[in-house]
């Protein structure tokens, strides 16, 4: 429990100046809390290491937090989960996506769970200023990744599929 609160504290400080592009520009921490909550509530995850990694899943990609800090504070397993869902930002977008698809297929159930919960959150908060082509492209990409994670949890799969369908429906009415 203490570590979980520490993860929240570190993430809230690290992401303090970031906002969601969708979700009406909500504070970024809302996304991280949602991802952890989806895992706890719908996938019944009570392994704190998975929940800590869920809260911290974007810190390496989007903040100045270093691997060493995560290793020291949360240990090797949590760091491994976080690194497994972190893109190599030196690659181009298409290279990153290719690498992600390759990695996620071979990833552990814990990593697939975090990724699936992340996409459950993202697919429901498409930035309103994206044009149709960008939304379609994003949804297609998201589905490719998420569907490789469905095996990890049936409830999260259902949530993803229904949120995906809702986003597609909005698109049809545009
Ligand atoms: Zn995320």
The torsion angles phi and psi of 42, rounded to 5 degrees, stand at -100, -25
Tokens of 143: 């589905």
Please give the pLDDT value at position 174: 63
CA dihedral over 159, 7, 15, 69, signed as positive or negative: negative
CB 11 within 8 A of CB 56: yes
**61 an active-site residue?**
yes
More confident residue, 20 or 123: 123
CA dihedral over 20, 26, 27, 32, signed as positive or negative: negative
What does the mean pLDDT of the chain come to?
Answer: 94
Bridge partners of residue 27, in order along the sequence: 19
Q: What is the mean pLDDT of residues 11-30?
A: 89
Centre of ligand 1 to C-alpha 75, Å, is 21
Centre of ligand 1 to C-alpha 57, Å, is 6
Q: What is the mean pLDDT of residues 27-31?
A: 94
pTM (2 d.p.): 0.94
Please give the pLDDT value at position 66: 94
Please give the pLDDT value at position 46: 93
Centre of ligand 1 to C-alpha 32, Å, is 7
122 burial level (CB within 10 Å; 0-12, 13-18, 19+): buried
Catalytic residue among 47, 61, 72, 83: 61
Centre of ligand 1 to C-alpha 117, Å, is 9
């Amino acid at each position: 429990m203490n570590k979980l609160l520490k993860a929240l504290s570190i993430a809230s400080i690290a992401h303090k100046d970031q906002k969601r592009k969708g979700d009406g520009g909500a504070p970024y921490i809302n996304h991280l809390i949602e991802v952890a909550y989806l895992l706890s509530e719908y996938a019944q995850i009570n392994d704190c290491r998975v929940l800590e990694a869920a809260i911290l899943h974007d810190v390496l990609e989007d903040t100045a937090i270093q691997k060493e800090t995560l290793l020291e504070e949360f240990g090797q397993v949590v760091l491994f989960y976080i690194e497994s869902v972190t893109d190599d930002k030196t690659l181009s977008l298409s290279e990153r996506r290719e690498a992600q698809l390759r990695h996620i297929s071979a990833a552990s159930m814990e990593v697939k769970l975090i990724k699936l919960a992340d996409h459950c959150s993202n697919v429901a908060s498409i930035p309103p200023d994206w044009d149709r082509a960008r939304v379609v492209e994003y949804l297609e990409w998201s589905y490719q990744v998420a569907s490789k994670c469905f095996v990890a949890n049936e409830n999260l799969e259902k949530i993803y599929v229904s949120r995906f369908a809702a986003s597609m429906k909005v698109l049809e009415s545009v």
